[in-house]
């Protein structure tokens, strides 16, 4: 069985785009592979969150992943900072990570451009920490988006470099896990082709949004002035609404509105009303679970403890082996 690992950013609530993207696949995958999912709270320190925000964010992400169906008994779900072995491996890998290659990393260059007054060493070595996250469990498959491919390539470089340096084959090379067609791309409500938390206000529908908020966001979604005659081409914002509808509504509903568009009889207000109700039916069980799990401190602490134990067992073994390989030996 393959070991799969994914790091989850500890900021931002889950939206429909996340759900139809990675999360649904994580939920499925946990039964097919040896899965590790962790909340990347060490990484989040590069932006200096307050202690209160840090804790609240990690807690909310944990709650929402559990609500979305990650089973903490089946997968190993843990919080990165509960596994100090990761920090030790990061330190060791840093000795063979070079300033030049770290500075050439696209995500680093972007940060330097966006936040020139906070270019800290944690940002520079972000890919080293990410490599430590992955190889600490000797994972071979990492489900990541396009934006993380370079980081994954660097993880391979660091793993291979360690092996070469110590003449071992201890670390396997991690590769991207490709969901292929399984990913449904969810567009935004503001006419942009991607739902995302950093896009404009009202672009994303969060799993925790209540019915009133969902109706308001959908009714305000960008459209156009409507087809004037049958057979007109569809604009991107309207295509987006249909894509969303395909994800949450019945085929009959989609066909009905597509037919109306073709005939130029469509009223976007009607389409939006229907879309909002179908989104609400889809997300309300998730929202209820979020509220239920979010109110259960005892359960959350049990889950975090169990995850930390399982993760530390695997990470501890790796660190013992690595110390031996490097030459830290007991007297």
Instruction: List the one residue from 29, 62, 142, 276 that touches ligand TRP (CB under 6 A).
Output: 142
238 touching ligand TRP, by CB under 6 A: no
Q: How far apart are CA 66 and CA 301, in angstroms?
A: 13
Catalytic site residue 111? yes
CB atoms inside a 10 Å sphere around CB 266: 19
For tokens 């979010």, the residue is 294
Q: Is the Cα dihedral 130, 135, 137, 138 positive or negative?
A: positive
Q: How many residues does the chain have?
A: 331
Q: How far apart are CA 114 and CA 110, in angstroms?
A: 6
> Residue 179: which residues within 8 A CB-CB, separation 6 or more?
22, 25, 143
Q: What minimum distance in Å lies between the beta carbon of 160 and ligand TRP? A: 17
Of 109, 114, 146, 194, which one is the catalytic site residue? 194
308 touching ligand TRP, by CB under 6 A: no
Q: What minimum distance in Å lies between the beta carbon of 244 and ligand TRP? A: 23
What phi and psi, each to the nearest 5 degrees, are found at residue 119? -90, 80
Q: How far apart are CA 87 and CA 224, in angstroms?
A: 51
Q: What minimum distance in Å lies between the beta carbon of 139 and ligand TRP? A: 8
72 touching ligand TRP, by CB under 6 A: no
Contact positions with ligand TRP (CB under 6 A) in 74-93: none
Q: How far apart are CA 331 and CA 53, in angstroms?
A: 44
Q: What minimum distance in Å lies between the beta carbon of 131 and ligand TRP? A: 8
Instruction: List the one residue from 4, 7, 78, 123 that touches ligand TRP (CB under 6 A).
Output: 7
Which helix (H) or strand (E) segment holds residue 288: the answer is helix 268-294
Contact track, ligand TRP, 32-71, x by CB under 6 A: --------x--x----------------------------
Catalytic site residue 185? no
102 touching ligand TRP, by CB under 6 A: no
Of 15 and 43, nearer to ligand TRP (C-beta) is 43
Do the Cβ atoms of 293 and 67 come closer than 8 Å? yes
Catalytic site residue 194? yes
3 touching ligand TRP, by CB under 6 A: no
Residue 172: closest CA among 162, 180, 181, 182: 162
In eight-state DSSP terms, residue 235 is P
Q: What minimum distance in Å lies between the beta carbon of 10 and ligand TRP? A: 9
Chain residue whose CB lies nearest ligand TRP: 7
Q: How far apart are CA 276 and CA 274, in angstroms?
A: 5
Of 272 and 310, nearer to ligand TRP (C-beta) is 310
Contact track, ligand TRP, 9-38, x by CB under 6 A: x-----------------------------
Neighbouring-strand partners of residue 293: none
Q: What minimum distance in Å lies between the beta carbon of 132 and ligand TRP? A: 9
Q: Which residues bind ligand TRP (CB under 6 A)?
A: 5-7, 9, 40, 43, 130, 133-134, 142, 144, 148, 151
* Catalytic annotation, residues: 111, 194, 197
């Amino acid at each position: 069985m393959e070991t799969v690992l994914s790091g989850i950013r500890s900021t931002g609530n889950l939206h429909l785009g996340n759900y139809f993207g990675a999360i649904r696949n994580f939920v499925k995958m946990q039964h097919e592979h040896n899965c590790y999912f962790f909340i990347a709270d060490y990484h989040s320190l590069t932006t200096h969150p307050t202690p209160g925000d840090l804790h609240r964010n990690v807690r909310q992400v944990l709650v929402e992943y559990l609500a979305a169906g990650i089973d903490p008994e089946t997968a190993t779900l843990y919080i990165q900072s509960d596994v100090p072995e990761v920090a030790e491996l990061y330190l060791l890998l840093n000795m063979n990570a070079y300033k030049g290659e770290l500075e050439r990393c696209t995500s680093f260059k972007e940060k330097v451009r966006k936040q020139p007054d906070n270019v800290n060493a944690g940002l520079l070595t972000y890919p080293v920490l990410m490599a430590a996250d992955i190889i600490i469990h000797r994972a071979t498959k990492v489900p990541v988006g396009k934006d993380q491919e370079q980081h994954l390539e660097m993880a391979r470089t660091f793993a291979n470099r360690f092996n070469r340096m110590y003449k071992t084959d201890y670390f396997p090379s991690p590769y991207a896990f490709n969901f292929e067609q399984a990913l449904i791309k969810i567009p935004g409500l503001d006419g942009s082709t991607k739902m995302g938390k950093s896009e404009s206000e009202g672009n994303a529908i969060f799993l925790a949004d209540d019915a009133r908020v969902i109706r308001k966001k959908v009714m305000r979604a960008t459209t156009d002035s409507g087809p004037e005659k049958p057979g007109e081409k569809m604009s991107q914002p309207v295509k987006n609404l249909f894509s969303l509808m395909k994800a949450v509504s019945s085929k009959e509903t989609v066909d009905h509105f597509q037919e109306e568009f073709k005939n130029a009889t469509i009223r976007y207000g009607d389409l939006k009303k229907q879309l909002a109700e179908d989104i609400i039916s889809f997300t309300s069980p998730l929202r209820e679970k979020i509220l239920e799990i979010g109110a259960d401190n005892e359960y959350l602490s049990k889950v975090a403890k169990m995850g930390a134990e399982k993760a530390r067992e695997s990470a501890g073994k790796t660190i013992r082996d690595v110390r031996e390989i490097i030459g830290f030996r007991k007297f």
